[in-house]
Amino acid sequence: MFGQVRKHLGEIFHEVAKQKGCEIVEGHLMVDHVHMCQSIPPKYAVSSVVVFIKGKSAISIVRTFRGETENFTGENFWARGYVVSTVGLDEERGGRHYIREQEREEERYEQMSLWQR
């Protein structure tokens, strides 16, 4: 995800999260996936917030970049699954640090795979 799509997704994620009373504390868009640390009110199940954000952001992408305004049955933008981990008192060293380091890790693995071919 690059260029305009990447910028648009960042804005949409924040806007949609606010609709549920959530806050995106840290996030990073990778080429084929997203890492995000959110603060979610206890009245919401994590799964319902993730489904809401994935659904609303996919609709926004289709409307903005494909110009479609009708129902999007059968269309998939995001993969079905997601991974969730809770962040405790040591939020800075835990989840947020992990998210920040993901781009470096991906680059390191890509470099290693170039030499192994």
CATH of the domain at 45: 3.30.70.1290
User: What confidence tier does 104 reach under pLDDT thresholds 50, 70, 90?
Assistant: confident
The three-class DSSP label of residue 68 is coil
Range of the domain at 20: 3-115
pLDDT at 20 over 90: yes
Burial of 71 (0-12, 13-18, 19+ CB in 10 A): exposed
DSSP letter at 39 equals E
Q: Find the distance separating the first CA and the last CA of the chain, reported in whole Å.
A: 25
Helix axes 3-19, 46-66, angle to 10 degrees: 140
Average of per-residue pLDDT across 4-14: 85
- Identify the pLDDT of residue 83: 83
Q: What is the pTM of this model?
A: 0.68
pLDDT at 56 over 60: yes
Location of structure tokens 């680059």? 107
For residues 18 and 90, the answer to whether their CB atoms sit within 8 Å is: no
What count of other Cβ atoms lies within 10 Å of the Cβ of residue 89? Answer: 7
User: What confidence tier does 69 reach under pLDDT thresholds 50, 70, 90?
Assistant: low
Structural domains counted in the chain: 1
